[in-house]
Amino acid sequence: MRHTISVLVENKFGVLSRVSGLFSGRGYNIESLSVGETIDPSTSVMTIVTTGDDLVVEQITKQLNKLIDVIKVTDYMEVDHVEREMVLIKVAPRKDDRTEVLQLTEIFRGRIVDSGPTTYTIEITGNEDKITAFIELIKPFGIKEFVRTGKVAIAREGVKKK
């Protein structure tokens, strides 16, 4: 099973390597990891997407909690939440395809953030399904470069346990 885990940590040097070292040292895998400061500059949030059976994910959250610099761990599998990820895609469509690329971007509510003589750079934000769908559709037009931020997640208000 795939889990999105959010880890509230002390915003100190070395914390990222404590967390990533925990994953590599214990053989857990990280599909994506994104880190950023919260509104309180003394803390950061790491959003980690990982896979594993229930026992493994239970160990992961416990091991994370055990780190002194970790303040709070939330496994979003158990919480109603919103997830987003952003990708930047540089496409180089043939001349006749350019309009179609623009239309697709529009349909997915993406934005063209840069364009060159032969390329567009598209920004797409959404959940995983949307991003995967968009990538599949845009692939045939020729993706030159592609970066994704990794997922971030936040609980819905009036957090309900699922």
Shorter beta-carbon distance to another protein: residue 25 or 158 = 25
- Sign of the CA dihedral running 155, 157, 161, 162: negative
CB of 135 to another protein, least distance (A): 36
Q: By the criterion CB under 8 A, which residues form the site for another protein?
A: 9-10, 14, 17-18, 21-22, 25, 55, 58-59, 62-63, 65-71
CB of 27 to another protein, least distance (A): 12
| Cβ neighbours for 153, distance < 8 A, ≥ 6 positions apart | 4, 6, 47, 76, 81, 82, 83, 84
Shorter beta-carbon distance to another protein: residue 69 or 97 = 69
CB of 157 to another protein, least distance (A): 24
The CA distance from 107 to 101, in Å, is: 10
How many CB atoms lie under 10 A from the CB of residue 150?
A: 16
The CA distance from 95 to 77, in Å, is: 44
CB of 76 to another protein, least distance (A): 20
Shorter beta-carbon distance to another protein: residue 22 or 102 = 22
Shorter beta-carbon distance to another protein: residue 31 or 54 = 54
